[in-house]
Amino acid sequence: MNNNGNNCYDKLYRKVISLTEVVEITEAASFQVKEMMRHNEEEGSFLRVAVKGGGCSGLTYGMGFEKTQSEADDLYEQFGIPILVAKEDAPILQGTVVDYKQSLMGGGFTIENPNAIASCGCGTSFRTAKKAGTPENC
């Protein structure tokens, strides 16, 4: 069941795990994602939340739209948004909250990861106790 109490199924009609098990998308973030989907003509796409190597601290977050799901992905749904997380990224992202903050200086997504033990001032580069990644120069 998702946060709205609905059962979620993927295209093969497999029951989807609750997103709160890995990543939580706030209502503000979901509104912004849906707006971006409409603006970029990506309705019907998946939102991918990912971890990549690089950045000052060794790992960086990634978010983007994808048209297809692979066998290496777990599928979740929250606020009506189908979300993909690679199975290998799930342990690193466990408990992460994606939010959208708006201020007079602009707005942007924020990511709070309880597994991050160090992060860069940019806010997108981090490392965990179990995975350091490959740090790069800023």
pLDDT(124) > 80: no
Report the pLDDT value the prediction gives residue 121, as an integer from 0 to 100.
72
Report the pLDDT value the prediction gives residue 7, as an integer from 0 to 100.
45
In terms of Cβ atoms closer than 10 Å to its own Cβ (0-12, 13-18, 19+), residue 47 is buried
Q: For 19-128, give the CATH class.
A: mainly beta
Q: Where are the domains of the chain?
A: 19-128
Q: Which residue has the higher pLDDT, 19 or 34?
A: 34
User: If we measure between CA atoms, which residue out of 126, 101, 99 comes closest to residue 115?
Assistant: 126
Between CA 93 and CA 19 the distance in angstroms is 11
Between CA 38 and CA 80 the distance in angstroms is 14
pLDDT(4) > 80: no
Four-point Cα dihedral 60, 65, 67, 71, nearest 10:
30
Find tokens 């200086």 and name the residue.
105
Q: How many CB atoms lie within 10 A of CB 92?
A: 23
Q: How many CB atoms lie within 10 A of CB 48?
A: 17
Percentage above 90 pLDDT, the chain: 51
pTM of the model: 0.77
